[in-house]
Structure 1
């Protein structure tokens, strides 16, 4: 009988430990299998938006000033450069997030790579 009582106490203790661990762990974000596609589309939209805004402002200035191709070409190129710069900033942002997530996952698994 004493073994049955000890087993029940151990099971109750395991349940309490599991409950305490789940309360301490932060909730894991849901996995989004489309996240890479979303990042790609975001970058494409940033590039196209830079081009479109530059071209629209350039065309507007050319119509207003009567110098049709000059500002259109210059501001379209500047819009392209701004779009590329925004894309690079976004890729650095996602790289930092990915690096931080991989470091956190390594720490959770007890992986210490500092000594290697």
Structure 2
């Protein structure tokens, strides 16, 4: 009878020496990355958290700065400052809600 893969066993058995070598290589790569100052790449959750934080801070600061500039220009001190600060914060939250809904749809 002819076998499917002549001269080879079905599945190679795990060799303890190879397992030990793989562990040592992984540890050496980790130490080398630390020595070179490299950090592991950010995962998707960390990236999303950074985007949410940047969106919230950007909306708040953007609205506040534009309101302050308009108040200085027009001489209406607290009116535009407060109104655009609130609008900037609301737009930041609205953008965060849209991001979370887009990620929920993507995960389905």
| Length-normalised TM-score, structure 1 | 0.59
Residue 54 of structure 1 deviates from its aligned partner by 0.5
Stretches (4+) displaced over 6 A: none
Query: Of residues 37, 44, 47 in structure 2, which corresponds to 1:35?
Result: 44
The match for 2:100 is: 91
Q: Specify the alignment match of 1:64 in structure 2.
A: 73
> What runs of 5+ residues in structure 2 fail to find an aligned partner?
7-40
1: CA distance, partners of 2:89 / 2:42: 30
TM-score calculated relative to the size of structure 2: 0.63
Q: How does 1:1-116 map to 2 (within 5 A)?
A: 3=1, 6-7=2-3, 10-11=4-5, 34-99=43-108
More helix by share: 1
Structure 1 residues not aligned, in runs of 5+: 13-31, 100-116
* Post-superposition offset of 1:38: 1.2
3-state SS, counterpart of residue 73 of structure 2: helix
Instruction: Kindly tell me the number of residue pairs found equivalent between the two proteins.
Output: 74
SS at match of 1:85: helix
Give the deviation of 1:33 after TM superposition.
6.4
The alignment partner of 1:97 has SS state of helix
